């Protein structure tokens, strides 16, 4: 029996990588310093796994921004617009890489970033590869090989983790008509062969290909492609040992395809799909070993050793323990770093802490499971098994978890609670009279720059270095300044700026019952952005209003409308670590009722426009289509429950980013928000077509500029996008806004961009 890790978090135990990247981008540190940080993190990760006695330790799981972009650079799929940077000797390979990730507006160049989208059903985002019809590939970056060599220097004969060829192609986007990305196999395979040749020459034994698409719905062409690619690779490398990793779903109808590939080890996700174990065991050929993804890489609960040991035993009885690998369900990229750094009992109580395991703890769990399963465990090992049992027992019976009032309220919630008083048609008229907004009303998505100062105040306040009054005063000043500035440049619907919030989910979780927090439980979201998901451990309710104070304050400063700003139930669910002892749908409904209370209280406090952000609705979609309807039904219902307690005159907005809407547009319309704002600019308004084709009846604000890039768009550019929008959506339905909140931007970028945006809106209404 062997243990292996599919991937380890790479941000560093104190988010060192985030800090190093941001310093480098700001021109404050050198490339050497950044590379040094990267190397140190990798080495620490390797050592940690080495000391834990993991058998196969991954390399190339480290990345400066994103593992898919790494692969794009490795195989030289560099879009033409970066050519000038690629050939310019004053830019390093990493500069080119960051330009692709973030856009580049410097030295007289002005190049947009590549598109970014969610990594399957996680909150991690990857950079979407762009393919042309005659896309050529070549070995451009040596990162994979260098990483392997570096691991070796640390004393680890690592297992390179490489995005499988089919998955890589399927993750990409065809930028031209007239071809299918899978047609590119022929061009791409030689580069994979070249990489493998190098790795073999350097002494690699095991290679892990990540092929999560094998656990998704595949068409016949993709299925054939899998057979073709892996038999070709096998032919060329009879001696390398290939692990194909599937995760986030069960193999289902791809079972026979996956088990018949000429590979050495197949990894399956038993956290997401435990029922697939018996199916796999019944068909697995003698030549194939099985990697049991048994420790949940997507959640923070301690593994249930007794249950896992049963799985291992079942597999061992059938195929023999020497053909078994024990692993996390997926890469630990989606887990926070280390529970040991949670030592503030006021933040995370010891009772809850004993239920949890982060990446480092999961590594130890995996090693321990192997020990326990290998027979004759020693006394300390048995001791750990007993401790595990005790912690799990405590969690099952803890009084922290259950609240009868919450359970009762769920029972009496009816369909009517998910229904506005009147249909949109009627509401629209009332709202028009009430709100008196112009054509192409301008607004923003909520947050304004979270400057160093703002974050500094919060940090000081938390450390007790700033009194509550002083902190409050500073935030009020910042809010007022933001209100005044929005008034000044002529935005129609203002926001308060969200300066009091650390994060759109954490802020709410901190005030809701049933949520726990960590000090350092950061998980990478995209590039240098990390999030610290709360832990939903018990029944959720809202003990007191959460946002009324700030919204009311902001509204008191101005005669313009200030939009109340909330995070929706599905997004709170989706971006938290969720309890695994009841269905997600039930947890979501509990959150929905809590948000409903807040919406109603905002209305009572005189807030007439309330936005309930649901950027995560789409990412919550099950990966298998057969399960979509069930999810969409409860997710949309949760949103409606949260939004439907108000009068017709109160305008409900929602916001979504990084979504494609084609296949869920009916459900989006079912949400029945009066206004929806969406991310749209990176796709050049393409995403709007779904709304146009559906004849989406409510109002809609397609984002006219990309806030994920420091690049400032011109008025002309935004006007162009607005014209595109107007060509497919009636002007009376359109709003003008950025793609998303501005919290990651600097003020100077924000000021220029928003001024131009307001001008674009004015010009659009003049020429209308
Ligand atoms: N209101 C949030 C903000 O402006 C929305 C963020 C999001 O959609 N991710 O920051
Ligand atoms: Zn957004």
Check the annotation: does 522 bind a ligand: no
What tokens does 94 get?
Answer: 């990493």
CA distances from 310 to 373, 568, 754 (A): 9, 39, 59
Substitution candidate for ligand 1 out of 503, 615, 619 with most atoms within 8 A of CB: 615
Give me the mean pLDDT over the 40-56 stretch.
98
740 pocket-lining for ligand 1 (C-beta < 6 Å) = yes
**623 Cα: distance to centroid of ligand 1 (angstroms):** 24
Ion ligand 2 neighbours (CB, 5 A) are 615, 657, 740
Taken in order 495, 496, 499, 505, the sign of the CA dihedral is negative
Confidence of residue 681 (pLDDT cuts 50, 70, 90): confident
* Ligand 1 binding pocket includes 678 (Cβ within 6 Å): no
Characterize the bridge pairing of strands 529-531 and 523-526: antiparallel
Beta carbons within 8 Å of 571's beta carbon, 6+ residues apart: 504, 505, 613, 614, 615, 616, 617
The model's pLDDT over 216-259, given as tens digits with 9 standing for 90+, comes to 999 999 999 999 999 999 999 999 999 999 999 999 999 999 99
Q: Which atom, in ligand 1's list, is nearest to the CA of 504?
A: 2
Q: What is the pLDDT of residue 505?
A: 93
Percent of the chain exceeding pLDDT 90 equals: 94
Name the token pair of 289.
């070993």
Extended beta strands in 168-220, E state:
173-174, 206-210
Whether the CB of 447 sits within 6 Å of ligand 1: yes
β-bridge mates for residue 244, sequence order? 209, 266
pLDDT at 619: 84
- What was the pLDDT predicted at 682? 80
The alpha carbon of 655 and the centre of ligand 2 are apart by a number of angstroms equal to: 6
Q: Is 219 annotated as a binding residue?
A: no
pLDDT band at 81 (very low <50, low <70, confident <90, very high): very high
Specify the pLDDT at position 350.
Answer: 95
- How far apart (Å, rounded) are the C-alpha atoms in residues 23 and 424? 48
| 684 confidence band (pLDDT: 50, 70, 90) | confident
pLDDT band at 318 (very low <50, low <70, confident <90, very high): very high
pLDDT band at 118 (very low <50, low <70, confident <90, very high): confident
Strand partners, 78: none
* Ligand closest in space to the Cα of 740: 2
pLDDT recorded at residue 683:
83
Distance (Å, whole) CA 340 – CA 496: 37
The predicted complex's ipTM stands at: 0.99
Each residue's pLDDT tens digit, 283-298: 999 999 999 999 999 9
Residue 215 C-alpha to ligand 1 middle, in angstroms?
A: 31
Residue closest via CA to ligand 1's atom 3 equals 741
pLDDT of residue 361: 98
680 appears as a binding residue in the annotation: no
Q: What is the pLDDT of residue 686?
A: 86
* pTM of the full structure: 0.91
612 CA from centroid of ligand 1 (Å): 10
For residue 660, what pLDDT is reported?
82
Residues in CB range of 7: below 8 A, 6 or more apart: 58, 61, 161, 330, 331, 332, 333
Q: Name the residue with the closest Cα to ligand 1, atom 4.
A: 741
Q: Can you read off the two tokens belonging to residue 452? A: 């160093």
Pocket test for ligand 1, best of 443, 655, 705, 706 (most atoms within 8 A of CB): 655
**Cα angle 554, 558, 564; round to 5:** 40
Which ligand is closest in space to the CA of residue 743? 1
CA of 20 to the centre of ligand 2 (A): 25
Nearest ligand, CA 499: 1
**If you measure from the C-alpha of residue 740 to the centroid of ligand 1, how many angstroms do you get, rounded to a whole number?**
6
Q: What is the DSSP string of 12-60?
A: -TT-HHHHHHHHHHTTSS-HHHHHHHHHHHHHHHHHHHHHTT-SB-EES
From the list 736, 765, 756, the residue with the least C-alpha distance to 443 is 736
Is 445 touching ligand 1 by the criterion CB < 6 Å? yes
Q: For residue 349, what pLDDT is reported?
A: 95
Ligand 1 within 6 A of CB of 326: no
Q: Is the pLDDT of residue 768 over 80?
A: no
The reply to whether 15 sits in an annotated binding site is yes
pLDDT for res 710: 87
Does 123 carry a binding-site annotation?
Answer: yes
Whole-number Å distance between alpha carbons of 723 and 434: 28
- The per-residue pLDDT for range 427-480, each reduced to its tens digit, is 999 999 999 999 999 999 999 999 999 999 999 999 999 999 999 999 999 999
Residue percentage of the chain with pLDDT more than 70:
100
Question: What are the residues whose beta carbons fall under 8 Å from the beta carbon of 697, sequence distance 6 or more?
Answer: 424, 425, 669
What is the structure's pLDDT at 161? Answer: 98
Q: What is the pLDDT of residue 107?
A: 86
pLDDT in tens, 63-79: 999 999 999 999 999 99
Look at ligand 1, atom 10, and give the residue with the nearest C-alpha. 741
**Residues 132 and 188 sit within 8 Å (Cβ to Cβ):** no
Ligand at shortest distance from the CA of 741: 1
163 among annotated binding-site residues: no
Catalytic residues: 708
pLDDT at 708: 86
pLDDT band at 376 (very low <50, low <70, confident <90, very high): confident
Q: Are 546 and 506 in contact (CB under 8 A)?
A: no
């Amino acid at each position: 029996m062997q243990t292996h890790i599919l991937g380890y978090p790479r941000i560093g135990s104190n988010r060192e990588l985030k800090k190093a990247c941001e310093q480098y981008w700001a021109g404050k540190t050198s490339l050497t310093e950044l590379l040094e940080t990267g190397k140190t993190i990798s080495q620490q990760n390797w050592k940690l796994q080495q000391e834990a006695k993991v058998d196969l330790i991954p390399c190339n799981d480290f990345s400066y921004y994103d593992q898919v972009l790494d692969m794009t650079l490795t195989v030289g799929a560099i879009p033409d617009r970066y050519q000038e940077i690629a050939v310019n000797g004053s830019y390093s390979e990493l500069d080119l890489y960051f330009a692709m990730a973030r856009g580049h507006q410097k030295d007289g160049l002005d190049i947009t970033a590549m598109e970014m989208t969610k990594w399957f059903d996680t909150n991690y985002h990857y950079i979407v590869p762009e393919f042309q019809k005659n896309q050529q590939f070549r070995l451009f970056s040596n990162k994979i090989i260098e990483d392997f060599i570096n691991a070796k220097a640390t004393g680890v004969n690592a297992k390179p983790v490489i995005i499988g060829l089919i998955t890589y192609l399927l993750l990409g986007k065809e930028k031209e008509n007239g071809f299918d990305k899978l047609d590119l196999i022929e061009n791409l395979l030689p580069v994979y062969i070249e990489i493998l040749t190098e790795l073999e020459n350097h002494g690699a034994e095991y290679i892990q290909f990540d092929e999560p698409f094998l656990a998704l719905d595949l068409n016949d062409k993709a299925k054939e492609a899998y057979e073709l690619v892996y038999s070709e690779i096998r032919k060329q490398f009879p001696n390398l040992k290939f692990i194909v990793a599937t995760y986030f779903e069960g193999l289902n109808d791809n079972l026979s395809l996956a088990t018949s590939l000429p590979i050495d080890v197949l990894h399956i996700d038993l956290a997401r799909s435990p029922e697939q174990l018996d199916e796999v065991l019944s068909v697995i050929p003698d030549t194939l070993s099985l990697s049991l993804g048994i420790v949940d890489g997507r959640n923070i609960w301690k593994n249930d050793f007794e249950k896992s040991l049963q799985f291992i035993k079942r597999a061992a009885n059938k195929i023999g323990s020497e053909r078994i690998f024990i692993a996390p369900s997926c890469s630990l990229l989606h887990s926070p770093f280390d529970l040991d750094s949670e030592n503030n009992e006021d933040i995370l109580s010891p009772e809850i802490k004993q239920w949890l395991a982060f990446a480092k703890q999961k590594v130890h769990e995996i090693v321990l499971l192997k020990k326990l399963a290998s027979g004759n465990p020693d006394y300390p090992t048995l001791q750990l098994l007993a401790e595990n049992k005790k912690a799990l027992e405590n969690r099952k019976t803890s009084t922290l978890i259950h609240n009868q009032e919450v359970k009762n309220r769920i029972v009496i919630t009816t369909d009517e609670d998910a229904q506005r008083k009147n249909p949109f048609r009627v509401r629209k008229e009332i709202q028009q009279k009430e709100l008196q907004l112009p054509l192409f009303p301008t607004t923003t998505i909520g947050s304004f720059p979270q400057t160093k100062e703002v974050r500094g105040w919060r940090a000081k306040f938390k450390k007790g270095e700033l009194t509550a009054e002083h902190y409050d005063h500073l935030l009020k000043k910042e809010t007022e300044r933001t209100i005044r500035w929005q008034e000044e440049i002529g935005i129609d619907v203002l926001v308060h700026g969200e300066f009091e919030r650390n994060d759109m989910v954490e802020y709410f979780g901190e005030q809701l019952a049933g949520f726990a927090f960590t000090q350092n439980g950061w998980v990478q979201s995209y590039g240098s952005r990390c999030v610290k998901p709360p832990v939903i451990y018990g029944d959720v309710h809202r003990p007191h209003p959460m946002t009324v104070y700030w919204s009311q304050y902001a509204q008191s400063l101005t005669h313009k409308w200030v939009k109340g700003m909330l995070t929706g139930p599905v997004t709170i669910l989706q971006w938290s670590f969720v309890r695994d002892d009841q269905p997600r749908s039930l947890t979501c409904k509990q959150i929905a009722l809590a948000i409903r209370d807040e919406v109603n209280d905002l209305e009572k406090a005189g807030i007439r426009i309330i936005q309930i952000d649901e950027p995560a609705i789409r990412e919550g979609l099950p990966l298998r289509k057969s399960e979509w309807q069930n999810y969409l039904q409860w997710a949309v219902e949760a949103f409606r429950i949260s939004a439907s307690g108000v009068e017709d005159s109160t305008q409900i907005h929602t916001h979504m980013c990084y979504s494609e809407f084609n296949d869920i547009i009916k459900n989006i319309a079912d949400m029945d928000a009066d206004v929806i704002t969406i991310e749209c600019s990176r796709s050049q308004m393409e995403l709007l077509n779904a709304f146009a084709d559906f004849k989406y009846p409510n109002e809609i604000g397609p984002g006219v500029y990309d806030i994920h890039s420091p690049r400032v768009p011109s008025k002309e550019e935004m006007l162009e996008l607005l014209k595109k929008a107007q060509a497919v959506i009636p002007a009376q339905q359109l709003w003008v806004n950025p793609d998303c909140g501005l919290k990651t931007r600097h003020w100077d970028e924000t000021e220029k961009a928003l001024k131009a945006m307001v001008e674009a809106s004015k010009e659009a209404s003049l020429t209308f």
